[in-house]
Amino acid sequence: MLELKEKIKKEGKVLGNGILKVDSFINHQVDPKLMDACGREFARRFATVGATKVLTAEISGIAPALMTALYLGIPVVYARKTKPVTMPDQVYLTLAPSHTRGVMSELIVSPEHLKHGEKVLIIDDFLASGATILGLVRLAQAAGAEMVGIGALIEKDFEGGREALKKVGVPVESLAIIASLDHDTITFAE
């Protein structure tokens, strides 16, 4: 998606260790118009998979997931990383490593909002190793829901996430695929 790639080229910063800083438009400051366009594009790409719910992980998945859900006309659920007092005692919980924080995070979803028979489309900001998204897949499976698609704003091709997600057996769509981040240079795939 050209609009997103242009923004990454213009404002993305390579920090080393494969970390791409995009906090001027995705994960601290957010560009609503760009997120709107990305949500519209995800909705177009996943128009025929029959999703009944978008699932994402707090925090930076919320903006693209919300916009996708808006255009698909379905609700979005964001997995929590800490359990609020408003959540029931019995929850779906899994662990996933946080790439930029270097720790394991809990991903928690209430059984009230993820149910047997639902068709789940996962939308997240990054597809890197795929670990967070696989955590979300485990939550969906634990709930007896069916996976129907996976979308990420930015895929880091060199971290192997797409390969790791193959076993899920659903379409994987990324709006910008980065082939390498070597020497402070962002190189897109294709």
Residues lying near a copy of itself in the complex (CB under 8 A) = 15, 19, 21, 23-25, 27-33, 35-36, 58-59, 62-63, 66-67, 69-70, 73-78, 80, 82, 84-87, 100-102, 109-110, 112-113
* Run of H or E residues at 25: none
> For residue 50, how many C-alpha atoms fall within 13 Å in the half-sphere facing its CB?
8
Of 31, 27, 44, nearest in space to 4 by CA: 31
Copy the structure tokens of residue 132: 């967070």
**Min separation Cβ 31 and a copy of itself, Å:** 6
Nearer CB in complex with a copy of itself: 57/148: 57
Whether the Cβ atoms of residue 165 and residue 138 lie closer than 8 Å to each other: no
**Min separation Cβ 163 and a copy of itself, Å:** 25
**Min separation Cβ 125 and a copy of itself, Å:** 12
Q: Which residue has the tokens 């909002």?
A: 113
**Min separation Cβ 190 and a copy of itself, Å:** 26
Alpha helices, H only, 60-160: 62-72, 131-142
* Run of H or E residues at 153: strand 146-156
